Amino acid sequence: MGKVFLVGAGPGDPELLTLRAARLLQEAQIVLHDALVSAEILTMVRTTRVIDIGKRCGAKLLTQEEINSLLVAYASECEVVVRLKGGDPAIFGRAGEEIEALLDANIPFEIVPGVTSAIAGAAAAGLSLTDRRFAASVVFTTAHRGRNAEAVAWDKLVTSHSTLAIYMPGRDYQKLTGQLCDAGLAPSTPCAVISHAGRPTQQVRWSDLTSVSLLESLPAPSLVIVGECARPPHGLQNPVRHGFASGVVDFTIGEPI
């Protein structure tokens, strides 16, 4: 009987992997990975048994039940099985369902944390999610829940002292910001949209809830950070000179140093 490691691949930059994650990629006899895992990280895998089980544009290669069954089956023949997930495996990664399947089959497992995209996105934008001048908490949420799940209760998540980190915002920013304003946020509330955080292709767009609907949707994976902490850092950009006060500010951050 082998062991299954639920490993966080982080936002895509191999240098942001934990040392433990990097070592497991070398030791694994088989790796099952999501679509968001970068090609650079997959080159670190030593074994040739690498299986893509990701979802693209809403189309799944395998159902979650089939993925669970694969983990159980491979653990019976491999000593080290790596389930490689983008970001952190326990943040919107359906790790809970996989853990239940492993427990039911009496298979040992371990969660290896990774840098989740909210943290990587804040770093890309130069933001402090819990700047004590503006926020006492940060909320990780998603704009889209699973099938048959209740709609996001934005009115319960929005507070004057919280930063919202919204995963999977979708392409319709106008719908999302309308929901946030209906929940009680002021239209002038700052927000930042971050795409491909932590990668050379990362982009950051500054706006507010009034103007963010004017933005073209950015390539996935992306997220939206909303709240007073989402203002452009002082000295990084001049918000008035670059139009933050009256419209959309758009700039691209180059490759990480």
- Active site amino acids: 34, 55
Give the pairing type, strands 249-251 and 137-142: unpaired
Paired with 250 in beta bridges are 205
> How many angstroms separate the CA atoms of 18 and 70, rounded?
25
CA neighbor of 55 nearest in space, from 94, 88, 18, 91: 94
Distances (CA, A) of 140 to 92, 130, 158, 165, 223: 9, 12, 12, 5, 10
The answer to whether 85 and 34 have CB atoms below 8 angstroms apart is yes
Distances (CA, A) of 103 to 42, 47, 68, 90: 27, 26, 11, 16
> How many angstroms separate the CA atoms of 213 and 150, rounded?
24
> How many angstroms separate the CA atoms of 31 and 112, rounded?
14
Sheet with 80-85, side-by-side order of all strands: 50-52, 30-33, 80-85, 3-8, 109-112
